[in-house]
Amino acid sequence: MIILTVTLSFTTQKLNAMEKKKVEKTTVIMYSLQSSLATMTQDVGDIANELMSKAQSLGLEITGPQLWQYVGSDGQLNTKFKLDICIPVKTAKGDPGKFKFVTLPEFNCISEIHKGSWDKLGNVYQRIMGEITRKSIPITGTSREIYITCDFANQENCVTEVQMEIQ
């Protein structure tokens, strides 16, 4: 008689775990505009690509993924808010033209990593807002999306960090 012993070991890790963290101040090249969730795609147009081209033409050292900062967005389709499209850079140098160099201040936030298509980002915001509401954490009205991995051909491969600023 042969006895076969199989040992299975599982490591569980909570995917997309929410965390409270502090993001250090960051120098960026930025473009700011007024938009709404309903009109954002047409308002933004090709600005993100133009911004990346400008950073490259100035020879800037890019220090992180592109981030979009939303100031005053409440999740409603027609609410106007300020949208800052930013690329983190090591130093501000050269003439940014229609763009500008800014140092974003330290940012205390509740953060969650989203893996998958951008049309599901609303679920992440709902989870974060639920947690903030349950714990009565005051927010500032500013959030960020950090585009860690962008795959326009297959958005299921995208990785985006959502950050909601807290006081």
**How does pLDDT run across 108-128, given as a tens digit for each residue?**
999 999 998 888 888 899 999
Q: What angle do CA 33, 146, 69 make, to 5 degrees?
A: 25
Pair 146, 114: CB distance under 8 Å: no
Domain membership of residue 4 (yes or no) is no
Question: Can you give the pTM of this predicted structure?
Answer: 0.84
Per residue in 51-80, pLDDT (tens digit) is 999 999 999 999 999 999 999 998 889 999
Domain holding 125, by residue range, is 19-166
Domain membership of residue 13 (yes or no) is no
Q: Which residue from 103, 110, 102, 113 is spatially nearest to 167, judged by alpha carbons?
A: 110
Pair 48, 40: CB distance under 8 Å: no
Domain membership of residue 162 (yes or no) is yes
What total number of domains does the chain contain? 1
Domain membership of residue 129 (yes or no) is yes
